[in-house]
Amino acid sequence: MSINSAILDNPLLKGSGLPPFADITPEQIVPAFHQLLAELDQELATIEANVKPTWSSLVEPVERLVERLNWSWGIVNHLMGVKNSPALREAYEAVQPQVVQFLNKLGQSQPIYNAFKALQASDQWATLNNAQQRIVEAAIRDAELSGVGLQGKAREHFNAIQMELAELSTKFSNNVLDATNAFGLTLTTREEIDGLPPSLLSLAAQTARAAGEENATPENGPWRITLDFPSYSPFMQHSTRRDLRERLYKAYITRASSGELDNNPIIERILKLRQELAHLLNFQTYAELSLASKMAKDVPAVESLLEELRSASYSAAVKEIEDLKSFAAAKNAPEANNLQHWDISFWSERQREAKFAFTAEELRPYFPLPQVLDGLFGLVKRLFGVTVTPADGQAPVWHEDVRYFQIADETGTPVAYFYLDPYSRPAEKRGGAWMDICINRGKVTENGVSTVRLPVAYLVCNQTPPVDGKPSLMTFYEVETLFHEFGHGLHHMLTKVDYSQVAGIQNVEWDAVELPSQFMENWCYDRLTLMGMAKHYETGELLPESYYQKLLAAKNYMSGSVMLRQLHFSILDLELHYRYLPDSGETPKDVRDRIAKTTTILQPLPEDSFPCVFGHIFGGGYAAGYYSYKWAEVLSADAFAAFEEAGLQDEEALKVIGTRYRDTVLALGGSNHPMEIFKAFRGREPSTEALLKHNGLATA
């Protein structure tokens, strides 16, 4: 095959529509981007040469250029998360610098920036609608934050930093994935598996078989326990072997902190470079640079919210640990006076069982994935009037377990689609759960005919896979996670904005983007929603009422500790990007240990290297923005309170308020400021009251 036809046939150059996953191989990535970036470079030069400060000769061509790059690069990024392999990594690392280089060039284009400024200052400005003005303002701000004002040496330095940061972030994530996979604990005796639930024994036998123990069975083993969350978490909750819990815990907290996969030097380097980047753009700190495009007005505003929540949760958390010690003592546990980190999960699970008389494992049979999906889809139909139906076979997928769905409005017209990749695949898929954009909604004009391109989302979870002929039986936490990611998906998919730059989650201030996701989690405790999906996978029996009452009672179990843990991460992130000085003699780990004094009850162990796996801020987009979870949780709790006030049993009232939520929070995307959107929905600014109340932390 000649080079030219190979390039013509390259599926990564299709440029629009659903990604042809079945046809994509890592070998195609380098030639595709070589070709694509050369074309985009030409296109950019043409735009710069002919640009005028009007919507059609500036905003539209720039948008088309960005869309082409996003389409191809989005696919490669997606595959890095769900289909990671040595060949894919190599190709990704080969083209990433060129992509970053091109994005820098575009972001720093003086002709384009000047045209945006001129458009803002022109008579045409008044004729642009709100969404269009937000697009122009964001373009100006982003260009300034991309170093458009820098010249000569300063610009070269800025670009070199951007390039290195992108490489470091990829390396950080790969190290975490590899370090998580590098550890495995094979158990062979009855004593070693004491206390472990059947669901974990099945998974552990399946993992052992995958690792070459072909005769492994749930009954007789051997059983392989890994640091992948569906394996690690239940082991820590249920294993009666304190020595093994300690071994596993220490392996978990030291991941990616030594040897070839050591992320410590990467973290120091990232923080140093971010600091330099901020200085180049005339910010004192990286935190201030990060907040320049967020909803919170400055670092003190964020710190005051975090402190308000910290002081509300700290004493509750102290009391929770004291109660746990007394509980362990009452059970004559030798470790009761000296509870260690590897005892907390185990004893909290025992205490929860005793207090609320159920185990997390007992609930699993009531939450098979197909039914949970039915319950979730039933809820969005009740609230927002949309119908979700399977569309498997209508889209190419990257793994046989991936499903494809359609969302239609009240008239039956399709409005969006999404992929669901639900199960953990530790060898190739990174941990955690996320929603990502496959295709943005937007108006497309071809040959003078305008159509609306419908949005498509990726929803990725890492829940327990189907084992030994049973469906995927979910923990309640996995149910909440699915609802959370689907909330992000709705934000992307139910947008009514036709400008792709501000449709769905695009251009939504980062600290408001978690509102729709956290909002959806609240419905997991709503009686109608929960009882509609919780049915025993074998008998079809409804979840007994007593369990529902116990779930409600247990909802705020350890909520002080849970809240404090999130605040610990948020405050650490802010401190590293606001007060920490690289090369000052203090390491990021020292900062973490210092922060821990007021944000943890059990201080971290000396070898605990949490920053080395803090992927949100070193491998993802949450740097100096992890607080967003709490910031948005205030918004989402207050938004859910509007439904509670209307009456969760009142279907008509729910429809009315659901429609208002859909028409504001979900429909408007990034076309308005999130505070304006929130006020349009709620009629006022948000307050922390609902959040503290929902967490059982409101002081009387």
- Pairing, β 414-423 against β 456-463: parallel
Distances (CA, A) of 469 to 374, 459, 473, 539: 21, 24, 11, 16
Judge whether 539 lies within some domain. yes
Q: Two tokens at 230?
A: 């569906």
Report angle CA 90, 94, 99 to the nearest 5 degrees.
135
* pLDDT of the residue at 357: 87
Residue 186 φ/ψ, nearest 5 degrees: -95, 125
485 as an active site residue: the answer is: yes
**Residue 95: CATH number of its domain:** 1.10.1370.40
Query: 163-205 pLDDT, tens per residue?
Result: 999 999 999 999 999 999 999 999 999 999 999 999 999 999 9
State residue 446's pLDDT score: 84
The predicted pLDDT at position 445 comes to 85
pLDDT above 70 for 700 = no
The CA–CA distances, whole Å, from 692 to 140, 311, 520, 524, 689 equal: 38, 12, 17, 18, 5
- Reported as a pLDDT band with limits 50, 70 and 90, residue 91 is very high
Eight-class DSSP state of 108: T
Instruction: Look at residues 626, 644, 664 and tell me which one is the last residue of a structural domain.
Output: 626
**CATH number of the domain residue 331 falls in:** 1.10.1370.10
Same domain for 514 and 563?
no
Query: 268 and 242 share a domain?
Result: no
- Tell me the β-bridge partners of 542: 535
Q: Residue 276: inside a domain, yes or no? A: yes
Whether 374 and 454 map to the same domain: the answer is: yes
Range(s) of the domain holding residue 389: 364-554
Q: Which two tokens stand for residue 254?
A: 């030291």
Is the previous residue joined to 611 through a cis bond, with omega within 30 degrees of 0?
A: no
Same domain, yes or no: 414 and 515 = yes
Instruction: Calculate the dihedral angle through the C-alpha atoms of 5, 11, 16, 22, rounding to the nearest 10 degrees.
Output: 150
Task: Indicate whether 343 and 372 sit together in one domain.
Answer: no
Counted residue by residue, the chain has a size of 700
pLDDT at 699: 56
Mean pLDDT of 609-624: 95
Question: Stretch 593-620: mean pLDDT, rounded?
Answer: 96
Q: Per the domain annotation, does 664 fall within a domain?
A: no
d(CA 457, CA 13): 20
Collect all residues with Cβ–Cβ distance below 8 Å to 189 and sequence separation of at least 6.
221
**Strand partners for 444:** 451
Residue 73 inside a domain? The answer is yes
In this prediction, residues 644-666 reach a mean pLDDT of 96
Indicate whether 198 belongs to any domain.
Answer: yes
User: What type of residue is 560?
Assistant: G
Q: Which pLDDT tens digit goes with each residue over 345-363?
A: 999 999 999 999 888 889 9
Give me the pLDDT at residue 334, please. 94
With both helix axes pointing from N to C terminus, report the angle between 369-384 and 476-493 in degrees, rounded to the nearest 10: 40
Provide the β-strand partners of residue 445: 450
| Residue 481 domain-assigned (yes or no) | yes
User: pLDDT tens-digit profile of 297-333?
Assistant: 999 999 999 999 999 999 999 999 999 999 999 999 9
**Mean pLDDT within 368-379:** 97
Dist CA 601 CA 67 (whole Å): 48
Structure tokens at 385: 């009037």
Whole-number Å distance between alpha carbons of 239 and 197: 9
184 beta partners? 226
Of all residues in the chain, what percent carry a pLDDT higher than 70? 99
Q: Which of 320, 478, 485, 521 is catalytic?
A: 485
Statement: residue 1 has pLDDT above 50 = no
Domain match, 439 and 482 both: yes
Residue after which a domain boundary falls, among 508, 535, 554: 554
For residues 691 and 386, the model is more confident at 386
Regarding whether 540 and 452 lie in a shared domain, the answer is yes
* Euclidean distance between CA atoms 561 and 404, whole angstroms: 37
- The predicted pLDDT at position 53 comes to 97
Q: Quote the pLDDT of residue 2.
A: 41
Q: Are residues 587 and 487 in the same domain?
A: no
Same domain, 307 and 249: no
Which of 554, 572, 606 terminates a domain? The answer is 554
pLDDT at 469: 87
Residues 244 and 139 grouped into a single domain: no
Pair 581, 505 in one domain: no
578, part of any domain: yes
pLDDT digits (tens, 9 = 90+) for 230-268: 999 999 999 999 999 999 999 999 999 999 999 999 999
**H-type helices in 534-673, by residue range?**
545-554, 559-578, 588-599, 615-618, 628-646, 651-661
- pLDDT of residue 26 exceeding 90: yes
Span 480-501, pLDDT tens digits: 999 999 999 999 999 999 999 9
Residues 386, 248 share a domain: no
pLDDT tens track for 544-602: 999 999 999 899 999 999 999 999 999 999 999 999 999 899 999 999 999 999 999 99
Provide the domain count of the chain. 4
Task: Report if residue 162 sits inside a domain.
Answer: no
Closest C-alpha among 365, 674, 668 to residue 515: 674
β-pair type (456-463, 434-439): antiparallel
